[in-house]
Amino acid sequence: MSLEVVLQSIFSAAFIATVIRVSTPLILAGLGGLLSELGGVLNIALEGVMLAAAFTGVIVSGLAPQWLPGAPAWLYAGLGALAGVSVGMAMGWLIAFCHLELKTDLILTGLAMNILAAGGTVFVLFALTGDKGSTASLASARLPAVQLPFVNHVSFIGTLLNGANGAGYHIMSYMALLLVLAIWLFLYHMPAGAHLRATGEAADAAQSAGIDIRQVRYRALVASSFCAALGGLYLSMGYLSLFQANMTAGRGFIALAVVYLGNRNPAGVLLAALIFGAASALGAQVGTLAIPPQLVEMIPPVVTIAALILYSIRRRARRAAAARGFQEQAAAGWSADAARITDAALDGDPQSTAPGTSPSKSGIVEGTNKIQKGR
Amino acid sequence: MVHIKNHKALIEASRAVLVVMIALVIGFVITALVSKEPVRAYAALLTGPLPKVSFAHGVEITNLNRFGNWLEESTTLILLGLAVSLVFGARQFSLGAEGQLLLGALAAAAVAVKMPAPFPLHLLLALGAAGIVGFLWGLIPGLLKAYLAVDEIVCTLMLNVIALQLFDLVLLNWLRDPGASFLGTASFPASVVPPLLIPGTRVSWMLIVMVAAVLGVWFLMARTPFGYALKMVGANRKFAEYGGINARRVIALSMAVSGILAGLAGAHLSLGLLKRLTVSLAPGLGFEGVVVALLARNDPRGVLVTGLFYGYLRTGAQIMERSSDVTREVVLIIQAVIILLVTAERLFPSFQQWRRTRSDGGAIAIDRGLGG
Amino acid sequence: MPARVAMQQISKIYPNGVVANHKVDFAVEKGEIHALVGENGAGKSTLMKLLYGLEQPTHGAIFLEGRRVEIANPQRAIHLGIGMVHQNFMLAPSFTIAENVVLGNEPRKGRLVDHKRAIAITAALSAKFGLQVDPTARIEATPVGMRQRAEILKTLFRGADLLILDEPTAVLTPQETDELFWAVRNLVDQGKTVIFITHKLGEVKEIADRVTVMRHGEVAGRVATREVTEADLARMMVGRAVLLSSYARPAVRGKVVAAVHNLGCIDETGRPVLRNVTFAVHAGEILGVAGVEGNGQSELVEVMAGLRAVATGEIRINGKAVQGASVREMRANGVAHIPEDRLANGVALDASIAENLVVDRYHRPPFTRYGVLWPRSVRQHATALMQQFDIRGAGPGASLRSLSGGNQQKVVAAREFSAAPVLLIAAQPTRGVDIGATEFVHGQLLAKRNAGAAVLLVSADLSEVLRLADRIVVMVKGEIAGILENGPQLTEETLGVYMLGRNRPTP
């Protein structure tokens, strides 16, 4: 296959559809990471929550026909999803409880949850099915795709809006987009969103404003886990229709990177998740060329680190520029300033005793205050 | 005052034992929920790794391979635990051991396959390569954190992803044996495989390397100025800087030196255990070092003990899986419980309130601000 | 008419045994400005924490307008009409002023925040009480005075009619202080009651109707301000006649040890914090640095200690240019440093006493020889210093956390005084220290001076500077407003005039 063919396939509607498919769990888990990060309680257990939810969804939807024979199929899928989300949220609550009540370290608690999910899913899987690898033997339900009507006969648009097979995108893909909007609205236009951000940014300020920061943090972790659980459900009840041991394969950690690459806002999370998804989809495409797919898969993590570095360098550069400006100003103006201080003081005009500071008169005091706060 | 110190250490040790006991009990309850014969399963978990000595026909030792499995497993875990204890000791939340382990294994394999040399030299070269690559892969997040304040958690997680891809890339494109039926290198030449210490097992000279590493890290932490500086940076970075310690250098180096140990763990996996390198090498093993270091409270001597303990548990779990209806993953559940219990200050208040600045800085600032 | 606030027989004993308040009676009438003064550690902040529900009293009762109340938390306090403006502003930096003002109580349009109304509310409050702010400006981009006004507006928005201002002028310039006083009077004119915490006696006379003085956790007196002088208040605060300002000084000043020329530097956000600072410290001299806090003194100390980068100018220690040197190089040149926030920067609480005592010297013999650290030397060193400085702890191996606050302070002092410095930088060396320890620290500083060291004493406590310093540098806005010879003729009033930046520098 030639490069041309690959490029053609990349700039096709089908490729875009693939990217959306691959990105969906990253968007969902990324939003989960965002909510926890903005609340000041970074949820490092996204990975474990996804895994546990994916597992629970499959098991419950697969076993539901035994419990409720004869019910419609959508009910089994729905029960599975409900159970998966519940388990995910319960894990979020447990993290919050351990961290806020038992005072465990947040990061280590998250790691423990990841280990618990990795071990617990396989443990229960084996106990229920006698298989340690996957639930292939269990007929589990899928959550539905949503097919948009009337567009399939338009070739490009049809593929773009309903995916390569025309069946439509998975309900969780729509959920992901909906949540991006909903969370944006929540964070910047709803009181509870403001409380969440205030808690993460300045917990003492939030507390003094009468916000119950403990409750906010509980909710942040539970909501965060809710989003991650949806991402996990997508993996086992959409992307695939079975559970495999460790099927999240690090997506929960990628989701954390998505939060930072996305500059800690919902739109950024969407974009960053799509970048990761695109690289992943591209890696699958270039396999046919001489380009090793691993190289392509490395791009997003490299970009994430590069973004972190760039952000830091930009901050430093601003400071260096300020220092240079200050030095030039000092070299040029101090002798004259000193004279002016004396004159002004003699004139008894206190307003002009701070020459050269005109852009921010109280800059000195203000800056000091910042340092003190930082301590 | 020596007395006091020992007393404290005793309390700490007994707390660690208590935590482990509670976790084991919880593990048993969970086992009992799914198993038809939980007692037999748990007995296999707790006694499996011990060799059986029988006196029926003179002294006869059987099940030595299980004992060997225990030591092999522990060697990897202790090296990883040491790696984590160094970065945690400097209060850096580096989670990069996984990537360093992968690349260490890769570097050792590259030397094994591509650089033929006579016996001891070849092995030393391979170990050296693993250590250096681990060092460099740890130095990257170290420098970024120390000098550019790049968050080490995200950075090391991303470096793990990169390392995983790099591992596959190099293995599949340069080191792969085209004649083999699976994706991996050819078997390593004898010149690079560490000689066995206990015949009939895979316990090799790497055990000695591991013990040397424990002693080395202990010496580094207790008896060198660098160790002191690292401890002070971990205890209070501002204080360290105020005292004249170059905290940035210490942070960068702590992560890099930690990488050496993780790289050696990787070399142990590839040279000592597998004797060839294949794709999908022990994912998630890097995080196992966390529980070892945590339980040992970052003390290298403690890492030796907890590493042996945790290796024992993992080996026992494998035996339990083979001889009963319970999977080995029950150990992961026990591990999670241990982490939660160890870090739960409310339950065990005297466990150091470490990394408090990160998680609870706001509250402390309030106390100080109104302290007048 | 019952008092707006009456706190009766209040005691507060912390779990670690510290008695912060002992049988305190405190009352504020409606519509007055009531100053609460006392030295650091006198218990005034604790008392206000109790009133604001941040802490619970161990004994005693609180009455609001004659009704007994339990104030379980700040929410309850807010509900009761009490608002507190903390010294460390409680504002979210990325939020606008309006968002901060309404935080926790946002005006809504349906389920959404009504941003427009939040701005309108803030603007209206701002106009009504004469507290000038830009409602749409982000906190991180506003000057400190505006932040404080935003903080006050926050409490007013919550319906506070009793405002507690915790050392509000500590971070303000004189102009901003004037503006604040004007605003406070305006608040009272509109029926509010204000409790004004401070340790600046001049401000008490200027703004307060009545004053309660606290000392060692107890009330030392409650008076109408017009009936007393500043000296009276000072006596009530310290419990004895105000410190004598004179100490025997050496006849001859030695050679220049530290010379600072045209020093300038900027802070993390790029704002200038020091400019054109030039002075010299001689051997056998204590050079005092006075000024309103936040006028560059902390930064000067950090620069001299090697903790902060220099942007312009030079520093010479014994003639050697050392600007840009690291902390270790500075210390190698003979600089010792007692930091301002000792418990945050001067010690590692979870390390042992012995480890804390060698942080500046662990890399040198006898502690490190042949690249190896010798714990025995570290321990012996600690044992000796603990004896010499009377540090009471379980032994060199005990963690610093296990020591009392005073002994933790002594660990810092022991380390820095024993470093044999040629230049000793002491930043607020007696802050948070009891009288006995204060005498000890003063004695040590004088001993160092008499032994020929140069001492740079930075203190917000004017009486301390006047008591110890041979010469005094006054800093205003990061610049030197004057360098004055100390002597009987120099008074706090004169210094105060310089500190306000109204006097011209001495030639």
Least Cα distance to B372 among C341, C407, C145 occurs for C341
Q: Which of C78, C154, C271 sits opposite A363 (nearest CB)?
A: C271
The reply to whether residue A201 touches residue C267, judged by beta carbons under 8 angstroms, is: no
- Give A-chain residues touching B169 at CB under 8 angstroms: 292, 294-295
Residue-wise pLDDT for A220-273, tens only, equals 999 999 999 999 999 999 888 889 988 998 899 899 989 988 989 999 999 999
Segments making up each domain of chain A, as ranges: 13-255
Q: Mark which residues 404-433 of C lie under 8 Å from B by CB.
A: 432
- Give C-chain residues touching B88 at CB under 8 angstroms: none
pLDDT at A375 > cutoff 50: no
The pLDDT value recorded for residue C179 is: 86
Rounded to an integer, what is the distance from CA C506 to the centroid of its chain? 28
Q: Report the SS3 class of residue C160.
A: coil
Q: Say how many CB pairs under 8 Å bridge A and B.
A: 157
Q: Mark which residues 188-227 of B lie under 8 Å from A by CB.
A: none
Q: Mark which residues 308-367 of C lie under 8 Å from B by CB.
A: 326-328, 330-331, 337, 339, 343-351, 355, 358-360, 362-363, 367
Domain A13-255 fold is ABC transporter involved in vitamin B12 uptake, BtuC (1.10.3470)
Q: Does B231 touch chain C (CB under 8 A)?
A: yes
- Give A-chain residues touching C310 at CB under 8 angstroms: none
Q: Which of A202, A351, A371 sits opposite C92 (nearest CB)?
A: A202
Q: How many CA atoms lie within 13 A of B306 on its CB side?
A: 31
Interface test with B, best of C14, C301, C327 (most B CBs within 10 A): C327
d(CA A370, CA B7): 43
Q: Which of A338, A371, A375 sits opposite C267 (nearest CB)?
A: A371
The reply to whether residue C350 touches residue B365, judged by beta carbons under 8 angstroms, is: no
Ramachandran area for residue A96 (φ above 0: left; ψ -120 to 50: alpha; else beta) = alpha
d(CA B208, CA B203): 10
d(CA C221, CA A67): 78
The reply to whether residue A327 touches residue C100, judged by beta carbons under 8 angstroms, is: no
Least Cα distance to A208 among C118, B358, C92, C41 occurs for C92
**Picking from A8-17, A209-218, C134-143, which range would have the lowest pLDDT averaged per residue?**
A8-17
The three-point CA angle B94-B95-B96 to 5° equals 90
Q: Could you tell me the pLDDT band of residue A329, with boundaries at 50, 70 and 90?
A: confident
The reply to whether residue A210 touches residue C78, judged by beta carbons under 8 angstroms, is: yes
d(CA C490, CA C505): 15
A184: CB partners within 8 A, 6+ apart: A265, A266, A267
The reply to whether residue C344 touches residue B368, judged by beta carbons under 8 angstroms, is: yes
Alpha helices in C59-169 (DSSP H): 74-79, 97-102, 115-129, 144-157
Helix A13-38 with A171-189: angle, nearest 10 deg: 40
- Give C-chain residues touching A38 at CB under 8 angstroms: none
Q: Is A265 exposed, middle or buried (0-12, 13-18, 19+ CB in 10 A)?
A: middle
Q: Does A299 touch chain B (CB under 8 A)?
A: no
Instruction: Please tell me which residue of chain C has the smallest CA distance to B239.
Output: C345
d(CA B61, CA B201): 13
Q: Could you tell me the pLDDT band of residue A333, with boundaries at 50, 70 and 90?
A: low
The pLDDT value recorded for residue B7 is: 66
Percentage above 90 pLDDT, chain A:
41
Least Cα distance to A141 among A53, A59, A21, A24 occurs for A59
Instruction: Please tell me which residue of chain B has the smallest CA distance to C343.
Output: B239
pLDDT at A156 > cutoff 80: no
The reply to whether residue A208 touches residue C477, judged by beta carbons under 8 angstroms, is: no
Question: Residue holding tokens 């898969």?
Answer: A297
The reply to whether residue A191 touches residue C276, judged by beta carbons under 8 angstroms, is: no
B9 CA to chain A: closest CA distance, Å? 21
Q: Report the SS3 class of residue A328.
A: helix
Q: Does C396 touch chain B (CB under 8 A)?
A: yes
Q: Would you tell me how many other CB atoms lie within 10 Å of the CB of residue A185?
A: 14
Q: What is the pLDDT along chain C (507 residues), one digit of tens a residue?
A: 688 899 999 999 887 667 888 899 999 999 999 999 887 667 888 899 999 988 899 999 999 998 999 999 888 898 899 999 987 788 998 999 999 999 988 999 989 999 999 999 999 999 988 888 999 999 888 877 888 899 999 999 988 999 999 888 876 766 778 888 999 999 999 999 999 998 777 788 889 999 998 887 889 889 999 888 877 777 777 665 444 445 556 556 789 999 999 999 888 767 788 989 999 999 999 999 987 767 888 899 999 999 998 989 999 999 999 988 999 999 999 999 999 888 888 999 989 999 999 999 999 989 999 999 999 999 999 999 999 988 888 889 988 888 877 788 889 999 999 999 999 999 988 876 666 677 788 888 998 998 889 999 998 777 788 888 999 999 888 889 889 888 878 877 777 777 766 544 443
A208 CA to chain C: closest CA distance, Å? 7
The reply to whether residue C477 touches residue A365, judged by beta carbons under 8 angstroms, is: yes
Q: Does B150 touch chain A (CB under 8 A)?
A: yes
Cis omega before residue B38 (within 30°)?
A: no
As a whole number, mean pLDDT of residues A87-103 equals: 94
Q: Would you tell me how many other CB atoms lie within 10 Å of the CB of residue C251?
A: 6
**Structural contact between residues C26 and C219, judged by C-beta atoms closer than 8 angstroms:** yes
Q: Which of B162, B172, B294 sits opposite A108 (nearest CB)?
A: B294
The interface predicted TM-score of the complex, written ipTM, equals: 0.82
Instruction: Please tell me which residue of chain C has the smallest CA distance to B356.
Output: C350
The pLDDT value recorded for residue C249 is: 63
- DSSP letter (8 states) at residue A351: G
d(CA C227, CA C224): 6
C193 CA to chain A: closest CA distance, Å? 20
- Give A-chain residues touching C112 at CB under 8 angstroms: 185, 189-190
The pLDDT value recorded for residue C409 is: 86
Q: Does B168 touch chain A (CB under 8 A)?
A: yes
| Number of residues assigned to chain A | 375
- DSSP letter (8 states) at residue B56: B
The reply to whether residue A116 touches residue B331, judged by beta carbons under 8 angstroms, is: no
The pLDDT value recorded for residue C407 is: 84
Q: Does C170 touch chain B (CB under 8 A)?
A: no
| φ, ψ at C325 (rounded to 5°) | -75, 155
Q: Would you tell me how many other CB atoms lie within 10 Å of the CB of residue C398?
A: 19
The three-point CA angle C381-C386-C387 to 5° equals 105
Question: Residue holding tokens 């909510």?
Answer: A35
Q: Does B169 touch chain A (CB under 8 A)?
A: yes
| Number of residues assigned to chain B | 372
Q: In the beta sheet, which residues pair with residue C288?
A: C457, C472
**Structural contact between residues B166 and B87, judged by C-beta atoms closer than 8 angstroms:** no
The reply to whether residue B344 touches residue A102, judged by beta carbons under 8 angstroms, is: yes
Q: In the beta sheet, which residues pair with residue C476?
A: C479
Q: Say how many CB pairs under 8 Å bridge B and C.
A: 107
- Tokens read off for A26: 């990253």
d(CA B92, CA B87): 5
Q: Mark which residues 431-450 of C lie under 8 Å from B by CB.
A: 432
The reply to whether residue B244 touches residue C328, judged by beta carbons under 8 angstroms, is: yes
- Give C-chain residues touching B298 at CB under 8 angstroms: none
Instruction: Please tell me which residue of chain B has the smallest CA distance to C45.
Output: B372
- Tokens read off for C394: 């379980």
The reply to whether residue A308 touches residue B336, judged by beta carbons under 8 angstroms, is: no
The three-point CA angle A69-A75-A76 to 5° equals 65
C160 CA to chain A: closest CA distance, Å? 12
What parts of chain B have a pLDDT lower than 50?
A: 1-4, 349-372
| Longest alpha-carbon distance in chain B | 79
Q: Does A132 touch chain B (CB under 8 A)?
A: yes
The reply to whether residue C360 touches residue B371, judged by beta carbons under 8 angstroms, is: no
Least Cα distance to B311 among B79, B85, B71, B83 occurs for B71
Instruction: Please tell me which residue of chain C has the smallest CA distance to B372.
Output: C41
- Give A-chain residues touching C171 at CB under 8 angstroms: 365, 368-369, 372
B54 CA to chain A: closest CA distance, Å? 34
B232 CA to chain C: closest CA distance, Å? 7
The three-point CA angle A222-A228-A231 to 5° equals 150
pLDDT at A362 > cutoff 70: no
d(CA C144, CA C477): 13
Give chains near C: 3+ CB pairs under 8 A: A, B
Helix A13-38 with A213-234: angle, nearest 10 deg: 160
**Structural contact between residues A170 and A234, judged by C-beta atoms closer than 8 angstroms:** yes
Q: Does B225 touch chain C (CB under 8 A)?
A: yes
Beta strands C272-282; C256-266: pairing state: antiparallel
**Structural contact between residues C212 and C233, judged by C-beta atoms closer than 8 angstroms:** no
The reply to whether residue A295 touches residue B355, judged by beta carbons under 8 angstroms, is: no
Query: Mind listing the domains of chain C with CATH numbers?
Result: 5-238 (3.40.50.300), 243-334+421-507 (3.40.50.300), 346-419 (no CATH)
The pLDDT value recorded for residue C250 is: 59
The pLDDT value recorded for residue A338 is: 42
The reply to whether residue B359 touches residue A106, judged by beta carbons under 8 angstroms, is: yes
- DSSP letter (8 states) at residue C91: -
The reply to whether residue B330 touches residue A123, judged by beta carbons under 8 angstroms, is: yes
Is the pTM higher than 0.90? no
